Amino acid sequence: MMKRMMMALLVLSLCLGPAMAADKEIKVGFVYVSPVGDAGYSYAHDLGRKAIDGKDGVTTAFVEAVPEGPDSERVILNMARKNFDLIFATSYGYMDPMLKVAAKFPDTVFMHCSGFKTAPNMGNYFGRIYQARYLTGMVAGRMTKSNTLGYVAAFPIPEVIRGINAFTLGAQAVNPDVTVRVVWTKTWYDPATEKEAAKSLLDAGADVIAQHQDSPGPQEAAQERGVYSIGYNSDMSAFAPKAHLVAAVWNWGPFYQEMADAVKNGTWKTGAYWYGMDKGIVDISPINDAVPEAARAEVAAKKAALVDGSFEPFTGEIQDQSGAVRIPEGKSATDAELLGMDWFVQGVVGSTQ
């Protein structure tokens, strides 16, 4: 009896198969490096996942808190074996494990976030968050009274350095006297350490604190001292309603939609996708009421210029800390230069090591 039913199902599915192809269903998997939680980097990716889940035949699944390295290979492999059509791995350390798995599953599409390696069926992607950082720098530059901004930085890698530079350039654009002090914590998420680092910047005279890590520790420190803060990844205003001026935020939904559609229609191509504000991948959160109207208008105008492509933050002349010209007058940094950035612009106080 059981056998006959199975047979009937099999025949049925064979008949329906071709008919379903027109309205294909795809399974999309996500791998996150940290727990999703209520805020932060993985939370932002998960908002993107939720935006496509259940729409137009897309079903999604995710695995959170996957350590970079061998464990991630197992997780990605498992998803590929379960016939996921498209897999997003959202942390740098997943790059080589994903590359290995991609070689074994040529019919599955793999997308790796924040890396640089590709394969015929594996692309990489990221967002130009530095554009949003530039805008948050403008807000900070307008709101500081001491002309000293503090930046609680994670690890000295190009991604973080680029963010600090863009923030500094944005602040200098509205307030040439600004300096940005940098403290490295060598952590991505350690609220106690990051809060301590923020306090040391406050003691050094900073009155606006920006950060790269996921935790709201620096926001808390700013709120307690009655000064201002700039968030990252997602809107952090809930943690420091008075201090939080604005945040540079990710908005992955449109990108994940585009990739899912491309895979479904068979139009997906490998490559490096590095989208910016023009595609809505990066943005800024709503600005605190404490920021004057003139400053908001200024930021809105710059944002419009970023969106229509008439402005690019890393356009010369830009000097490094020693005063050497790194980007000549009238030239914009190439993507390769941006991705390998290992120097601070003038006005940053701190070491890139």
Partner 1 sequence: MSWWDMLVPLLAAAVQSGTPILYATLGEIFTERSGVLNLGVEGMMIVGAFAAFLTAKWTGSPVLGFLAGGCFGAALGAVHGLVCIGFNGNQVVSGLALTILGIGLADYMGTPFIGQSAPGFDPVPFPVLSDIPGAGVVLFHHDLLVYFSYGIPVVMWFFFRYTRWGLRLRSVGEYPHAAAAAGLNVSRFRWAGVLVGGFLSGLGGAYLSLAYTHLWTSGLTAGRGWIAVALVIFAFWHPGRAVVGAYFFGGVMAFQFRLQATGTHIPSSLLLMLPYALTILVLVFSSWRGRDQRAPAQLGVNVEPSE
Q: How far is the CB of 190 from partner 1 (least distance, A)?
A: 6
Q: What whole-number distance in Å separates Cα of residue 73 and Cα of residue 105?
A: 13
208 binds partner 1 (CB under 8 A): no
Q: Which stretch binds partner 1 (CB under 8 A): 67-75, 82-90, 216-224, 323-331?
A: 216-224
38 binds partner 1 (CB under 8 A): yes
For residue 317, is the peptide bond before it cis, meaning its omega torsion is within 30 degrees of 0? yes
Q: Where are the alpha helices (DSSP H) in the chain?
A: 2-21, 41-52, 70-81, 95-104, 129-143, 158-174, 191-203, 217-225, 253-265, 293-307, 335-339
Taking a C-beta distance cutoff of 8 angstroms, is the pair 222, 228 a contact?
Answer: yes
150 binds partner 1 (CB under 8 A): yes
Indicate the DSSP class of residue 157: S
Please say whether the dihedral angle defined by the alpha carbons of residues 158, 163, 168 and 174, taken in this order, is positive or negative.
positive
Q: How far is the CB of 49 from partner 1 (least distance, A)?
A: 17
- CB atoms under 10 Å from CB of 7, counted, come to 10
Exactly one of 204, 290, 297, 305 binds partner 1 (CB under 8 A); which one? 204
Q: How far is the CB of 163 from partner 1 (least distance, A)?
A: 16
224 binds partner 1 (CB under 8 A): yes
Q: Which stretch binds partner 1 (CB under 8 A): 69-77, 83-91, 214-222, 256-264?
A: 214-222
SS3 9: helix
Exactly one of 96, 190, 235, 337 binds partner 1 (CB under 8 A); which one? 190
43 binds partner 1 (CB under 8 A): yes
Exactly one of 25, 203, 278, 335 binds partner 1 (CB under 8 A); which one? 203
51 binds partner 1 (CB under 8 A): no
Residue list 284-343, contact with partner 1 (CB under 8 A): none
- Burial class, 59, CB count within 10 angstroms (exposed 0-12 / middle 13-18 / buried 19+): middle
Indicate the DSSP class of residue 207: S
157 binds partner 1 (CB under 8 A): no
Q: What whole-number distance in Å separates Cα of residue 290 and Cα of residue 255?
A: 32
Exactly one of 37, 253, 280, 316 binds partner 1 (CB under 8 A); which one? 37
Of 235, 239, 204, 230, the closest CA to residue 291 belongs to 230
Of 121, 115, 117, the closest CA to residue 103 belongs to 121
Number of residues that bind partner 1 (CB under 8 A): 41
Residues that bind partner 1 (CB under 8 A): 34-35, 37-40, 43, 65, 150, 156, 181-186, 189-193, 195-197, 199-201, 203-206, 215-217, 220, 224, 239, 349-351, 353
